[in-house]
Amino acid sequence: MAEKIRKLLRDSKAARWGALLILSFAMFAGYWFTEVIDPIKGPLEASYGWSSSDFGAVVSAYGWFNVFLGMLVIAGIVLDKMGIRFSTLAATITMVAGASLKYYALSGRVDPTSTIMGMRTQILLASLGYATFGVGVEYAGITVSKSIVKWFKGKEMALAMGMQVALARLGSFVPLAFGAKFAKETSIPTYVLVSLLALVIGFFSMLMYNVMDRKLEAEDAASAANGDSEKDKFKFSDLKAIVGNLGFWYIALLCVLFYSAVFPFYKYGPDLMVNKFHVPESWAGIIPSLVPFGTIFLTPLFGGIYDKKGKGATIMIIGAIMLVFVHVVFYLPFIDSMYVAIANSILLGIAFSLVPSAMWPSVPKLIPEKQLGSAYALIFWIQNWGLMGIPFIIGKVLDKTNPTIAPMIAKYQAQFKAQGMTTEQIAHHIDKLKAAGTIPTYNYATTWLIFIGLSLLAVVIAFLLKRENKRRGYGLQMPNIESERNQTDSA
């Protein structure tokens, strides 16, 4: 009877895909807030007097607590010890708390010129809020990944992970495509508040998921073979086995290099479109939004191919090579056509679909299920070094290679404020000065060499991963669906 009940739930397509849909909404909301200020770098400069270094400090704060306090590693251990239901609630509550602090910093209630210990209060509060939010959204990410393995092991795992990534990327698409326009037509505080409300709804979606997870766990408890026996419980000694796995390190390094060459593009891509490709600021995020929009369709497609045909290591190599080409095109100073930028962003979306569609479903082939929470957490922790460091470095390099722009904006802001203008009026006048060429545009050429270097290293690591797979027999080139794998193995 227990086996019959188990099949009615886990083996029910409606049940497992329904669970995936509920999980995905929380990640959709998380990715939305993750990218919320990306398309409004210019408005933040004009309204609050931010420099590129200020912007870089805030967007890099995402990884502060995850990296320096090891919160992601702790979250992975908590996930394996306390379980999925506890983690879904803890993660979403942390997201809401951090997002609320960041919203407060940008709400207009904080004087943009006040300081705390030499740092502008607004920048500090926004950074602390984003750092707290970063803990929650990364914790949610590893929890969702482990949940998908729980529901889809031996089934359409890569397709399911691809679908989850696709729906999460839709969250990135929303602010990139519409954020600058919406913020200009309403206000920066209103714009940020909407994404905060989506996170609150995401918390309630996790409550719904927990009902389903409780039923699934009750079924699993009836069978010692499903991973609930004492020998399958997570032990701290399991961490040694994870870090001793060379294939794990190749995936972790590929992850940090690849994502560091893509996610910071969300942060600075809209500003690149304004300054190099002459796209109006209100719609500057439209072209970068093609990257997550494309992944909505392509990541599930490539995940399905991996499920049925295998070739996971090869898929990752192709994606990494494409990434090099894309960033070289963005770098070349003589290429400033908006149409080239559109085509290149589409290619970036394809590359960004290829690597994650194969990378995340490959981890369970290297790591036992009881260790997956910690394994994903360690990968995410390593990834956060890049997500924290690269945007910060880019902001610094951008200011160093364009040393006149931030002081010039600050000078005009001080003049307009002395005339009694409101924040909105100051922003309007700064925009007019930019349009007239009085305030020069940013030159991104030197900055973009960072992306090219990261992409080249990702290609090297992808080839090393394929070689290690051949040596160790991880099965990265094999299909994920059991029937397909068995047919391939017997062929």
pLDDT tens string 363-415: 888 888 777 777 888 888 898 898 888 988 998 898 899 988 888 888 888 88
Q: Tokens 């939010």 label which residue?
A: 133
CB neighbours of residue 425 within 10 Å: 13
Q: State the first-to-last Cα distance of the chain, in angstroms, to the nearest integer.
A: 36
CB neighbours of residue 486 within 10 Å: 11
Our measurement of the distance from residue 380's CA atom to the centroid of its chain's CA atoms, rounded to an integer in Å, reads 10
Cα four-point dihedral sign 142, 147, 148, 154: positive
Give the pLDDT score at 8: 53
Q: For residue 221, with 0-12 CB atoms within 10 Å meaning exposed, 13-18 middle and 19 or more buried, which class applies? A: exposed
Give the pLDDT score at 228: 43
3-state SS assignment for residue 343? helix
Residue 51 scores a pLDDT above 80: yes
Q: Distance between CA atoms of 293 and 169, rounded to whole angstroms? A: 7
Give the pLDDT score at 484: 46
Confidence category of residue 52, pLDDT binned at 50, 70, 90: confident
Give the pLDDT score at 73: 82
Q: Distance between CA atoms of 122 and 126, rounded to whole angstroms? A: 6
- Write down the H helix ranges in 223-337: 238-243, 246-260, 263-275, 286-309, 312-331
Residue 157 scores a pLDDT above 80: no
Q: From residue 284, how far is each of 40, 88, 328, 407 by CA, in Å? A: 9, 34, 20, 23
Q: What is the mean pLDDT of residues 106-128?
A: 87
User: CB under 8 Å to 487, separation ≥6 — which residues?
Assistant: none
What is 2-402+442-490's CATH superfamily?
A: MFS general substrate transporter like domains (1.20.1250.20)
| Both tokens assigned to 72 | 């992601």
- The rounded percent of the chain whose pLDDT value lies above 70 is 91
Q: Distance between CA atoms of 397 and 67, rounded to whole angstroms? A: 22
pTM > 0.85: no
Confidence category of residue 278, pLDDT binned at 50, 70, 90: confident
Give the pLDDT score at 457: 95
| Both tokens assigned to 329 | 């095109």
Give the pLDDT score at 5: 42
Confidence category of residue 237, pLDDT binned at 50, 70, 90: low
3-state SS assignment for residue 125? helix
Confidence category of residue 200, pLDDT binned at 50, 70, 90: very high
| Both tokens assigned to 385 | 């070094």
- Tens digit of each residue's pLDDT (9 = 90 or more) over 285-311: 888 888 887 777 787 788 778 878 888
CB neighbours of residue 424 within 10 Å: 13
Report yes or no: 97 and 130 within 8 Å, Cβ to Cβ: no
Helix (H) or strand (E) holding 119: strand 119-120
Q: Distance between CA atoms of 27 and 169, rounded to whole angstroms? A: 9
Q: From residue 232, how far is each of 128, 241, 362, 444 by CA, in Å? A: 38, 14, 20, 51
- Tens digit of each residue's pLDDT (9 = 90 or more) over 438-457: 888 888 888 899 999 999 99
Give the pLDDT score at 234: 57
Residues facing residue 120 across a β-bridge? 115
Confidence category of residue 491, pLDDT binned at 50, 70, 90: very low
Q: Distance between CA atoms of 214 and 221, rounded to whole angstroms? A: 11
Upper half-sphere CA count for residue 464 (Cβ side, 13 Å): 15
Largest Cα span, the chain: 80
- The rounded percent of the chain whose pLDDT value lies above 90 is 26
Confidence category of residue 219, pLDDT binned at 50, 70, 90: low
Q: Tokens 């990218």 label which residue?
A: 35
Give the pLDDT score at 235: 61
3-state SS assignment for residue 120? strand
Q: Considering the chain, what is the average pLDDT of its residues?
A: 84
Give the pLDDT score at 233: 57
Confidence category of residue 4, pLDDT binned at 50, 70, 90: very low
Give the pLDDT score at 9: 67
- Tens digit of each residue's pLDDT (9 = 90 or more) over 314-350: 989 999 999 999 999 999 988 888 899 999 999 998 9
Give the pLDDT score at 232: 53
Confidence category of residue 10, pLDDT binned at 50, 70, 90: low
Residue 182 scores a pLDDT above 60: yes
| Both tokens assigned to 217 | 């766990």
